[in-house]
């Protein structure tokens, strides 16, 4: 699947309708962002089952503010609507491939099930 350029009105819809979403927060004027772009594209082509999106922070300041983007490029990985990885700066294709594999393996479906197990530590 090709990388999608997402705008404010589509961001949450994309996140909610896809199990795993890799997000590249970038800007046209950012040289490191432009250098990372082809790496992000290449890895996305290797994983058509995963959604890869780019968010231009200048065109979508509300998304950038809500995602607390303070430096670009920033890469976030969202699985089942929860952020599982966040990295400021560029990474190599090899590192991004490792993150893809870890994201696929990570089980986020039962994260809250252990919070209320009924065992509060009292054995009385």
pLDDT band at 109 (very low <50, low <70, confident <90, very high): confident
Question: Could you give the CA distance from residue 43 to residue 38 in angstroms, rounded to a whole number?
Answer: 9
CATH number of the CATH domain containing 97: 3.40.30.10
pLDDT of residue 110: 60
Q: Does 60 reside within a domain?
A: yes
Residue 25 DSSP SS3: strand
Q: Does 124 reside within a domain?
A: no
pLDDT digits (tens, 9 = 90+) for 20-47: 999 999 999 999 999 999 999 999 999 9
Return the H-helix or E-strand segment holding 77.
strand 74-79
Q: Does 122 reside within a domain?
A: no
Q: Is the pLDDT of residue 56 over 70?
A: yes
Question: Could you give the CA distance from residue 49 to residue 121 in angstroms, rounded to a whole number?
Answer: 43
Residue 9 DSSP SS3: helix
Q: Does 33 reside within a domain?
A: yes
Q: Does 115 reside within a domain?
A: no
Peptide bond into 27 cis (omega under 30): no
Asked if 81 is an active-site residue, the reply is: no
The single residue listed with the structure tokens 């994260």 is 111
The total number of structural domains that make up the chain: 1
pLDDT of residue 107: 85
Q: Does 55 reside within a domain?
A: yes
Active site residue: 20, 21, 33, 55, which one?
33
Active site residue: 15, 20, 23, 30, which one?
30
Q: Does 23 reside within a domain?
A: yes
Q: Does 50 reside within a domain?
A: yes
User: Which structural domain, as residue segments, surrounds residue 55?
Assistant: 4-105
Residue 16 DSSP SS3: helix
């Amino acid at each position: 699947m090709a990388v999608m350029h997402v705008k404010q009105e589509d961001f949450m819809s994309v996140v909610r309708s896809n199990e795993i979403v890799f997000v590249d927060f970038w800007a046209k004027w950012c040289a490191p962002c432009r250098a990372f772009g082809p790496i992000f594209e290449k890895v996305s082509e290797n994983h058509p089952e995963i959604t890869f999106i780019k968010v231009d922070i200048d065109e979508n300041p509300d998304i950038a503010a809500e995602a607390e983007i303070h430096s670009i490029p920033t890469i976030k990985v969202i699985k089942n609507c929860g952020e599982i990885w966040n990295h400021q700066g560029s990474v190599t294709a090899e590192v991004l491939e490792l993150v893809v594999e870890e994201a696929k393996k990570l089980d986020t479906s039962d994260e809250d099930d252990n919070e209320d197990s009924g065992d509060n530590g009292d054995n009385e």
